[in-house]
Homo-oligomer: A and B are copies of this chain.
């Protein structure tokens, strides 16, 4: 599918940040019951660049629970976040959503959703 738009020779607008920043991160995590989501959320909240953390449980089994972790901040650092989760016994099942850039952009609804 050919696209007709070219951008050669266009002056660089100043709006994009020099260094890309991760502003929001949504993770699907499998974790044992202990330590609980409160301990993990507190550990994540003190990481550099984190403004806030939401952890929501959506499934609890005998030994493990599936949780959804939403982090927002000015400059989230995925490696540190991943390490905290691993160190506390959790496994990141998938990265479900990321938002990067100067502002947090919401996913635009489309008929394909």
Contact = CB atoms under 8 A, between A and B. Distances in A.
A52 to B, nearest CB: 3
A105 interface: yes
A: interface residue count bin: 35 or more
A101 B45 contact: yes
B49 A79 contact: no
Interface in A1-17: 1-7, 10, 12-13, 15-17
A76 B99 CA distance: 16
Given A15-B73, A107-B68, A100 B42 contact: yes
Interface in A44-87: 44-60, 68, 70-75, 77-80, 82
